[in-house]
Structure 1
């Protein structure tokens, strides 16, 4: 079912990366879930899924998106201005949520590439990860520094939760002070990410959530399983929870 969302604000992080803040009624949702945005283009409905970046109690919905040159929907989303309308699914969906994470594990590792950082920011804007885990780690990989959306807010989390939250960024196509320059999978394989965090990824202590590029998810999943971590299923709780972004 579709409803109407009004654009309240647009934030442009770069030429192609942007956030839309929307006013719409979609009912309750859980941090980590996604909605669909849609427009009629050439008499056909074109819809795409976008994770919600806002916390569930926020007054506005928030999505992080990238405009793809040959995309059917994303360039039109980027062209939206405050006051414009767009169709929105009236119910959020998705199972990459903290309530699907098993009780064991005292360290929460979030791995994200690009816009897939959105659902993790939504979770960190709630109290649950901070109350539930001894350590929260976000590994955030992008191509260019300007692609680090919400960077100032993420640094503010470090200041607010000293010793509890660790942010590790990796920028692969330009040197950036303080950031790694490797792909996430390379950083895990070499051990440089764990060295920077000061913790080991382990089946005993870690819960891992992965969202982003399908190849990154596949490679990282393989690496983690080789270390004894297992995919998290309702019928067989494990340590690895994933959501493919396309």
Structure 2
């Protein structure tokens, strides 16, 4: 049974009319970078009473910083996100005390180059992993690709710039924008860039079964198509019982 703890919203960041971040203070059990917990609010139920409505969200922050940050997209007809979007500093929110998830450093396959391929708010766990610092100890080259529809959805740019300053010439950031021309990064979708070799050429780092490891996190269609594109290049899904090169996590 889920153990819930009360948290207090300490900061809200509205990136756009649909994207926002909540920073929450709460006494949670220790967790690892890349994991997620559940946020919840008590909301009116159909029977006239109240019910706890919850959804899972990844931590954007590294562990041990004194707050918990979540990057959220508004679902206009959803039960929870319209209410989360309206929260102000000082508001109360419930969190599952125990975090979950296997998108952690311990679960990633060893290799030389790590390609982190994300869409939308699924960049969050990668930012947590990068800020924690363990990735830079394990991998020589780090690539963070982020696919969005519009350039204004390429958020957390200041944080990414700071991370690149920590590891110059080792952390490569590649934004993908699908619905408008954007002056930086690549047009189109991540799976197509893998099929066409565009992503490798842009970074200047060729794929190889020996050196390349991939972590996919985003909408299920991107994850499925990217996995297929990589498998066609000779890469295999990474399992505990059988080492491979591809890890993945659907983001809803």
Report the TM-score when normalising by structure 2.
0.95
- Which residue of 66, 73, 97 maps to 1:90? 97
C-alpha deviation, 1:17, in angstroms: 0.4
SS in 1 for 2:187: coil
Is 1:41–2:48 an aligned residue pair? no
In the other structure, the counterpart of 2:150 is: 144
In the other structure, the counterpart of 1:32 is: 34
C-alpha deviation, 1:207, in angstroms: 1.2
Distance 1:201 1:193 in 2: 10
C-alpha deviation, 1:156, in angstroms: 2.6
C-alpha deviation, 1:15, in angstroms: 1.1
In the other structure, the counterpart of 1:55 is: 62
C-alpha deviation, 1:40, in angstroms: 1.9
C-alpha deviation, 1:191, in angstroms: 1.0
Contact 2:114 2:142 in 1 (8 A): yes
> How many pairs are equivalent?
245
SS in 2 for 1:64: strand
- Structure 1 stretches lacking a partner, 5+ long: none
Is 1:69–2:76 an aligned residue pair? yes
In the other structure, the counterpart of 1:199 is: 205
C-alpha deviation, 1:188, in angstroms: 1.1
Report 1:83-232 matches (<5 A): 83-103=90-110, 105-232=111-238
In the other structure, the counterpart of 1:15 is: 17
Deviations 1:10-36 (A, max 9, x none): 011111101100000112111000000
Deviations 1:187-243 (A, max 9, x none): 111111110111122221011111001000000001111111111111112111111
C-alpha deviation, 1:151, in angstroms: 1.3
Distance 1:21 1:33 in 2: 16
Contact 2:9 2:24 in 1 (8 A): yes
C-alpha deviation, 1:48, in angstroms: 0.4
Deviations 1:142-201 (A, max 9, x none): 011111120122123223322111000011112111121111111111111110111122
In the other structure, the counterpart of 1:233 is: 239
Q: CA RMSD in A?
A: 1.0
Report the TM-score when normalising by structure 1.
0.97
- Structure 2 stretches lacking a partner, 5+ long: 45-49
Distance 1:52 1:184 in 2: 23
